Amino acid sequence: MNPRDNRKIRVLLAKVGLDGHDRGIKTVARYLVDAGMEVIYMGLRSTPIQVVEAAVAEDVDVVGLSFLAGDHMTLAPKVIDGLRQRGMDAIVLVGGIILKHDIPVLEQMGACQVFLPGTPPDRIVQFIKEKLKQNSQQE
């Protein structure tokens, strides 16, 4: 039995880079908490290294990255690579203003899912629960 089965889903949310817009990520955080998840919100202007270190220290199941400043193609891969180098198999979700042609590239780099503005928060909750259930059945 997986020891994670007996605890709340742990989600780390971060605004990586210089973007100072946080209304969307705070809304998502509230929905995740209301859905019974434990949320660690890092606040604004985190570095990729800070996100990786926090994800490892907090032993999270999910890392959610929010981008609104166009730097997702530079910063998201740094977080994904850092997590993999540290042996973390956390699901990485990306959200925000993402160009449609960047979505498959981000997914090839290791983002599990990209959520665009207007995505219903319950869809994010459902995706996380289903993906974690799917992953635990594959172990």
d(CA 68, CA 99): 11
Neighbours of 97 (CB within 10 A): 15
Q: If we measure between CA atoms, which residue out of 22, 4, 24 comes closest to residue 129? A: 4
pLDDT at residue number 136: 85
Compute the half-sphere exposure of residue 34: CA atoms within 13 Å on the CB side of its CA. 11
Q: If we measure between CA atoms, which residue out of 56, 16, 12 comes closest to residue 37? A: 12
Looking at residue 115, the DSSP 8-state letter turns out to be E
CATH code at 49? 3.40.50.280
pLDDT at residue number 52: 98
> How many angstroms separate the Cα of 1 from the Cα of each of 38, 57, 137?
21, 22, 11
Number of independent structural domains in the chain: 1
Strand partners, 94: 65, 114
pLDDT at residue number 19: 80
pLDDT at residue number 2: 43
Domain range for 13 is 3-138
Looking at residue 35, the DSSP 8-state letter turns out to be T
pLDDT tens for the chain, 139 residues long, are: 344 567 899 999 999 988 888 888 999 999 999 999 999 999 898 999 999 999 999 999 999 999 988 789 889 999 999 999 999 999 999 999 999 999 999 999 999 999 999 999 999 999 999 999 998 887 7
